[in-house]
Amino acid sequence: MEKIVLFSANRGYALLSSRKELIQRFLDHGWCVVLATADDDEAHELVDLGAQLEPVQFTRGGFSLIGDYKAYRRLLDVIVRWKPSLVHFFHAKPVIMGTLAAGSRGRANAPSIVNTITGLGQAFVKGGLVTSFASAGYRKALSRADITIFQNPDDMELFVESAWLSSRKARLIAGSGVPLNRFSFVERSMRSNEKPVIVMLGRLLKQKGIPEFVQIAAHIRQRLPGARFVLAGEEEVNHVDGVSMSWLRSSADIEYVGRLSDVIPLMAQADLLLFPSYYREGVPRVVMEAAATGLPTVAFDVPGVREAVRNDQTGFLVPDRNVEQMTERVFQLLEDKGLRLEMGRKASELAKEAFDIRAVQEAYLNVYRELGVDI
């Protein structure tokens, strides 16, 4: 009998960037791997490895009655047709709708269900009806899953204390890991302080801290006119929290370079990562990647981010939305090259200790083995 596993996420990028090694592991062990995700270039890269693509369109940025129902029906059809023995869902909508679909035929016919909460995102920052809908969805769905993995302890504590799932079904695996063979340490000690490069990478959403990045850039450049603030990230045209491109381009203090297929060259040029996101991250991948290259980070002290930055050691954590203090911390590191380099070295050490993707992959494989999967 053919062994079938299904992975589902909002976009192919999430499966390619963080789960490629897991998918390859299943393929190497003779499994049929089905991907229920967007029909995008990244998904097709995984198809080239041997995976099967079942396109599913997940609406992003909030609740959509029609769009969400269509995604649920599509997931249900895929699960019924392929009959996987193991399913693993990532991101809010695949987790909620996928778990409900996989568990709809009763426990006797259901596959083993694993979820990963990669962060809580917009719904748990803005509050209101979106938060209520998301909370109800998690409460209904997660009781049907076998194991739900969290990337930071704050999220796990919230779900358990809210009685959305039992603690015995919760596991903590910090972040999605970084391939340290690609993100290696960059020596920055010989650089001049005259034109430091401060980078930010993230989707163009307000909650990702784009307005704060522009604001801090303007303040810093009044004191250090040579400083360069470079922003890379994907535009979110239809997202309710999206940043206007015309507004972004009106700023003379930042350089927007669009979405990058490879962020390593930009990180190699950089002297500092600025991460003013207050979006409910799982553990932000970009901070882990930056740390691996020896970049210190200045960020808000919010769930997920605090797992990737050691305050006063690998960077600075400042109170949530305190732009003034964040600006001063950025200025401090730009002025004190010795401190900046020391924090960068410690960040690289932290990456080796805590962010190695091989260790994260092994933790995921142990979860599958716990459910009786031979992999």
Asked if pLDDT for residue 105 goes beyond 70, the answer is: no
Q: Which one, of 345, 202, 349, 209, lies nearest residue 287 by Cα?
A: 202
Asked if pLDDT for residue 320 goes beyond 80, the answer is: yes
The residues, any chain, with a CB within 8 Å of residue 180's CB and separated by 6 or more, are 292, 351, 352, 355, 356, 357
Query: pLDDT-derived band of residue 186, with 50, 70 and 90 as boundaries?
Result: very high
> For residue 259, what are the domain limits?
197-354
3-state SS, residue 366: helix
Rounded to a whole number of angstroms, the CA Rg of the chain reads 21
| Together in a domain, 111 and 233 | no
Query: pLDDT-derived band of residue 32, with 50, 70 and 90 as boundaries?
Result: very high
Provide the number of structural domains found in the chain.
2
Distance CA 62, CA 335 (A): 41
CATH number assigned to the domain comprising residue 241: 3.40.50.2000
Between residues 66 and 4, the one the model is more confident about: 4
pLDDT digits (tens, 9 = 90+) for 160-173: 999 999 999 999 99
At residue 107, the pLDDT reads 60
Query: pLDDT-derived band of residue 57, with 50, 70 and 90 as boundaries?
Result: very high
At residue 125, the pLDDT reads 57
> Mean per-residue pLDDT for 311-332?
98
Asked if pLDDT for residue 298 goes beyond 90, the answer is: yes
Strand order in the sheet with 228-232: 255-256, 228-232, 197-201, 272-275, 297-300, 315-318
| Together in a domain, 45 and 11 | yes
Find the largest Cα–Cα distance for the chain: 68
What is the model's pTM? 0.91
| Together in a domain, 162 and 299 | no
| Together in a domain, 122 and 141 | yes
> Mean per-residue pLDDT for 19-27?
96
Does residue 140 form part of some domain? yes
At residue 128, the pLDDT reads 63
> Mean per-residue pLDDT for 340-368?
96
Does residue 191 form part of some domain? no
| Together in a domain, 272 and 163 | no
| Together in a domain, 259 and 350 | yes
| Together in a domain, 11 and 101 | yes
Give the 3-state secondary structure percentages of the chain, helix then strand then coil, rounded to 5: 45, 15, 40
Does residue 189 form part of some domain? no
